[in-house]
């Protein structure tokens, strides 16, 4: 394999995987929260809200993880993917 | 009306997880793309600074001993210092790379404070175990931001830095006020509530 081809192939592989990694990060975080909620449903006080205090209804760790994943996807990852695409188009 | 200490840990864990995800994204796409939108370059340093500010009410309302006050106060100061220095660097007001030393400094102070203010042994309860673990994680991982002072563009180091932040977030999410750790719970710790 020539050096030029190897460099080109490596760059293509990197360009291909970066958007995938960025778009996967948020859903991966949210999935972690959902799996946690399934494994430890007693951590989700919304499932049994009666008799719970205010803070027990607000602080639900699996749902906080899901929330971080969702916020990250919509606030950070999606605009970043557009910028990444723009950057790729400009550098072609 | 105050939340339990474990809940405060979870709220901070959520903020730290968000910062970790942002750092990981920056490591993946590179600083050039990350900073294409002006607001985004302030996002994680601003969140880190905000968490430093929010540590002050934690210091005020969750202080049950002098050592707790010193620990929470020093985290607040050094997180604000590191977040503020990073804000200055991305804005261009600060240019010297030595400002990046504030991160390893914040890690060392945080790690030391975690270990010093936890006076119970590792297997006393889960919170004691996690305080020791988080403390040592910060102390050992301080080498990564230290290396970033000299290699700020290294994607591998940036990714390691991000992963350390994510690991700390997971450790904080695992915290409980009174719960066993690997089957160990001191009778002096109290009754586990859930």
The 10s digit of each residue's pLDDT in A51-92 is 888 888 888 899 999 999 999 999 999 999 999 988 888 887
The SS3 call for residue B181 is strand
Residue pair B103/B44 in contact (Cβ under 8 Å)? The answer is: no
Q: Per-residue confidence at B71, pLDDT binned at 50, 70, 90?
A: confident
Cβ–Cβ contact A80 with B under 8 A: yes
CA B3 to chain centre: 20
What pLDDT shows up at residue A13? Answer: 52
Does A87 contact B32 at a Cβ distance shorter than 8 Å? yes
Q: Per-residue confidence at B44, pLDDT binned at 50, 70, 90?
A: very high
List the structure tokens of A68.
């971080």
- Mark which residues 32-71 of A lie under 8 Å from B by CB: 42, 54-55, 58-59, 61, 64-65, 67-68, 71
Identify the residue whose tokens are 């590179």.
B30
Beta strands in B32-190 (DSSP E): none
- Summarize pLDDT for B119-172 with one digit per residue, the tens: 888 998 898 999 999 999 999 999 999 999 999 889 999 999 999 999 999 999
Range ranked top by mean pLDDT from A36-40, A45-49, A88-92: A36-40
What pLDDT shows up at residue B77? Answer: 93
- Phi/psi of residue B184, nearest 5 degrees: -100, 130
Mutate to test the interface with A, among B35, B155, B173 (most CBs of A within 10 A): B173
CA B117 to chain centre: 15
CA distance A84 to B32: 10
List the structure tokens of B193.
């509530």
The SS3 call for residue B184 is strand
List the structure tokens of B143.
């080498």
CA distance B163 to B141: 10
- Phi/psi of residue B181, nearest 5 degrees: -125, 120
- Phi/psi of residue B154, nearest 5 degrees: -70, 115
Q: Per-residue confidence at A8, pLDDT binned at 50, 70, 90?
A: very low
Q: What is the mean pLDDT of residues B4-27?
A: 92
- Summarize pLDDT for B170-186 with one digit per residue, the tens: 999 998 878 888 887 77
CA distances B127 to A26, B84, B133, Å, are 28, 30, 10
Please list the residues that pair with B181 across neighbouring strands: B184
As for the ipTM of the complex, it is 0.87
List the structure tokens of B64.
């049950």
Alpha helices, H only, A1-92: 3-39, 54-58, 61-71, 78-91
List the structure tokens of B7.
């809940």
**Percent of chain A whose pLDDT exceeds 70:** 83
Torsion angle of the four alpha carbons A78, A65, B54, B56, in this order, in degrees rounded to the nearest 10: -150
The SS3 call for residue B35 is coil
CA B105 to chain centre: 12
Of the partner residues A58, A68, A83, the one whose CB lies closest to the CB of residue B17 = A68
């Amino acid at each position: 394999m020539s050096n030029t081809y190897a460099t080109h192939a490596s760059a293509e592989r990197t360009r291909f995987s970066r958007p995938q990694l960025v778009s996967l990060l948020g859903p991966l975080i949210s999935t972690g929260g959902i799996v946690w909620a399934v494994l430890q449903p007693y951590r989700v006080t919304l499932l049994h809200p009666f008799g719970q205090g205010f803070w027990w209804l607000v602080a639900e760790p699996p749902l906080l993880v899901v929330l971080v994943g969702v916020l990250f996807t919509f606030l950070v990852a999606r605009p970043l993917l557009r910028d990444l695409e723009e950057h790729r188009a400009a550098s072609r | 009306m105050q939340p339990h200490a474990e809940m405060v840990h979870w709220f901070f864990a959520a903020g730290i997880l968000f910062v970790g995800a942002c750092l990981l994204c920056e490591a993946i796409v590179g600083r050039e793309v990350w900073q294409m939108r002006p607001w985004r370059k302030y996002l994680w340093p601003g969140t880190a600074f905000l968490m430093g500010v929010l540590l002050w009410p934690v210091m005020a309302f969750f202080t049950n001993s002098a050592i707790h006050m010193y620990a929470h106060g020093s985290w607040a100061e050094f997180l604000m210092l590191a977040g503020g220095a990073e804000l200055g660097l991305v804005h261009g007001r600060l240019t010297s790379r030595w400002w990046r030393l504030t991160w390893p400094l914040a890690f060392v102070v945080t790690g030391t404070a975690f270990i010093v203010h936890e006076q119970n042994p590792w297997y006393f309860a889960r919170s004691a175990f996690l305080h020791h673990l988080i403390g040592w994680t910060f102390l050992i991982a301080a080498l990564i931001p230290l290396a970033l002072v000299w290699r700020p563009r290294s994607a591998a180091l940036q990714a390691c830095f991000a992963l350390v932040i994510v690991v700390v977030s997971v450790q904080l999410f695992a915290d409980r006020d009174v719960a066993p750790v690997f089957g160990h719970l001191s009778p002096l710790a109290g009754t586990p509530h859930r």
